[in-house]
């Protein structure tokens, strides 16, 4: 009933989301200072906005947890996969940010509690990589929207 690998992966998830991360900015760092208006912008017409990417990251962190618990959806509707702002308010944006924090903490606890034999390695490692990837995307979009006022 070893938990060594599960604890390592949970730590890597926490570092990818909250930091400190070896690779560069954590997801929290990438989202720091982003306004609701800035998050909703689409500086690259065919790309997702910061808002959509942050919501996407939170959704997939939650989906991985639910799948580990045996309750996850088989398919993911677009409205959940890349959720667009409804009204684009500051309060709505704060909920997106809070969702990233809440869901990542819940998944880290779920993974940490698993025996290594029950650990879904591909999903657990994959969500860490997924989060890291999207933090990088957000950093680029943040630079592309720099100077936008609330």
pLDDT per residue over 91-113, tens digit each? 999 999 999 999 999 999 999 99
Domain parsing of the chain, residue ranges: 4-144
Q: Tell me the whole-structure pTM to 2 decimals.
A: 0.93
Q: How open is the CA angle 10-14-18, to the nearest 5 degrees?
A: 180
Which residue do the tokens 């990818």 mark? 16
pLDDT digits 0-9 by tens, 72-91: 888 888 888 999 999 999 99
pLDDT beneath 70: ranges in the chain: 1, 149-150
**Residue 112: CB partners within 8 Å, gap ≥ 6?**
3, 6, 7, 10
Residue 1, pLDDT score: 60
70 sits in the region (left: phi over 0; alpha: psi -120 to 50; else beta) called left
CB 100 within 8 A of CB 57: yes
Residue 149, pLDDT score: 65
CB 7 within 8 A of CB 121: no
Q: Which of 150, 142, 146 is nearest to 29 (CA)?
A: 142
């Amino acid at each position: 009933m070893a938990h060594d690998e599960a604890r390592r992966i949970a730590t890597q998830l926490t570092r990818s989301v909250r930091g400190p991360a070896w690779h560069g900015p954590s997801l929290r760092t990438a989202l720091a200072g982003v306004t609701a208006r800035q998050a909703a912008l689409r500086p690259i017409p065919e790309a997702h906005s910061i808002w959509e990417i942050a919501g996407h990251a939170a959704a997939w962190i939650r989906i991985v947890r639910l799948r580990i618990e045996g309750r996850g959806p088989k398919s993911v509707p677009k409205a959940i996969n890349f959720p667009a702002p409804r009204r684009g308010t500051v309060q709505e944006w704060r909920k997106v940010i809070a969702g990233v924090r809440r869901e990542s903490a819940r998944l880290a606890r779920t993974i940490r509690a698993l025996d290594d034999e029950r650990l879904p390695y591909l999903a657990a490692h994959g969500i860490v990589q997924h989060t890291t990837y999207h933090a990088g995307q957000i950093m680029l979009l943040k630079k592309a929207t720099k100077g936008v006022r609330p």
